[in-house]
Amino acid sequence: MTDSAFSQAVLAWFDVHGRHDLPWQTNKTPYRVWISEIMLQQTQVATVIPYYQRFMERFPSVLDLANAETDEVLHYWTGLGYYARARNLHKCAQTVVSEFNGNFPNSVEALEQLSGIGRSTAGAIASISMGLPASILDGNVKRVLSRFHAIEGWPGNKKVADEMWVIADRYTPSKRTGDYTQAMMDLGATLCTRSKPQCQVCPLAAQCEAYGQDRVKEFPHSKPKKIKPIKSTRMLLLNHNDSVLLQQQPDSGIWGGLWIFPQQATEESIVDHPQLLQAEVSAVHEGETFRHTFSHYHLDIHPVHVTLKHKPDLIGEAPLLWYNLAEPANVGLAAPVKKLLDTLVHD
């Protein structure tokens, strides 16, 4: 199959079977496409849609986003995970406003210089919103190409990724590039899926090497597995009159910039926590331990519900907040914190 035959087959399929009514497919401005691409990183379309709609309603332009407080941006991102994306999003918006007069630069190379925008995201913005002949290599495209060419090796490996970029560049047409970009993402998301791919109706099946060799499930090769270590922490849910105490994490590190419950090592005594040294406690009970998994380790969270007779003097360098359950503040919450807060609200 020639390079042009590949792209034409994908486009012909897209015209009939592709997704054409996603929220970010109308009014394809660089800003709208950029927001969708960042949200779609490691997140399913069905999950992204309501977040995207709420985000765009609150921040309809790059200027609105740039002028917002970081806490509010994180609040509208709460639940999507990978919060560095939101912090980079905010920083990028401020750069676009301050250095580019609110207009996204119109080249892949310049887009790549912005916070949180890699080569593939830059290619998507350039092709979909600007019509530039730029290629992409997101997870969906990697899956399609690795199967079509039966490419050995984990796509996260630089040598394998470089090989895929060469192929992606070859197949990307100079015309209808934006449609082709969306078509490749749709093909990977709807037919060439991770499990139960629908090879029998794929427009590339006849020339697909993995399909021809009956090895579709082998590709793309998985990342070499490492056993994730297990860590544990105690979260103190300090409650007084339907308000719970939260503290803000530093900008860098786990849950950077987000608000969480005060933490404590599980081997330490609860009464030794700084916020409880001078507090009068009326009730304590332990909640059910649950696990939150990061990319590099598992975290076992031991929630402890502590009812206070009065609000203690707040101690510590980190910003602290009494979070009202009835009138919650618009702040960014770590996923397990939101989960615990939801249980308090529904109790």
Could you give the residue numbers annotated as active site? 37
Q: Give the other-Cβ count within 10 Å of 149's Cβ.
A: 16
Phi, psi for residue 243 in degrees, rounded to 5: -125, 140
Alpha carbons within 13 angstroms on the beta-carbon side of residue 62 total 22
- Which SS3 state, helix, strand or coil, does residue 328 take? coil
Q: Which residues is 81 bridged to in the sheet?
A: none
What length is written for the chain?
347
Structure tokens of 129?
A: 């919103």
Rounded to an integer, what is the distance from CA 285 to the centroid of its chain?
Answer: 34
Cβ neighbourhood burial of 326 (10 Å; 0-12, 13-18, 19+): exposed
Helix (H), strand (E) counts: the chain: 13, 8
- Strand, coil or helix: what is 313? coil
Which element (helix H / strand E) includes 246?
A: strand 243-248
The C-alpha angle with vertex 48 and arms to 116 and 195, in degrees rounded to 5, equals 100
* Cβ atoms 342, 323 nearer than 8 A: no
Half-sphere exposure at residue 77, Cβ-oriented, CA atoms within 13 angstroms: 30
